[in-house]
Amino acid sequence: MGLERPLPETNGLADTFWKAAGEETLLIQKCRTCQHHQHYARPLCLRCESSDLEMVPASGTGVVASYTVIHRSPYTDITTPYVLALIRLEEGVTMLSHIVETDPSSITCDMRVAVKFAPLRDGVKLPVFVPASEV
């Protein structure tokens, strides 16, 4: 019997993000004072230090900023190889995630990707990314 990947912390500021992800909506934080987007959610805006923040739906599209291919997993519920990537969303925030449903050798930096939601367990869904269809 191996180890399953841990589920995300769903308390505090992360709670709204994970509840929305469970309903297949990607939320990021936006400052009402200066309109700056940030991810992950924090108590203060990174640009202007305002605490007047809200969670808003993200575009769900972006580009691969960087990535690596993992060939050994400590968790039994993650099939290898898998891709861990930094995704830069249209809103300018960077999100650590997986790229799925594609051959890892086909992935390149600046490749366009779109979000989808992978069910884990206990109703938790993980935002992951797939190559975006050509526009």
Q: Which residues bind Zn ion (CB under 5 A)?
A: 31, 33-34, 36, 45, 47-48, 50
- Distance in Å, CB of 17 to Zn ion, minimum: 18
Q: How far is the first Cα of the chain from the last one, in angstroms, to the nearest whole number?
A: 45
- Distance in Å, CB of 13 to Zn ion, minimum: 16
- Distance in Å, CB of 89 to Zn ion, minimum: 17
In the complex with Zn ion, which residue's Cβ is closer, 28 or 128? 28
Strand duo 53-57 + 27-31: pairing: antiparallel
Q: How many residues are present in the chain?
A: 135
In the complex with Zn ion, which residue's Cβ is closer, 36 or 98? 36
In the complex with Zn ion, which residue's Cβ is closer, 47 or 76? 47
CA angle 10, 130, 101 (to 5 degrees): 100
CA separation for the pair 45, 32 (Å, rounded): 9
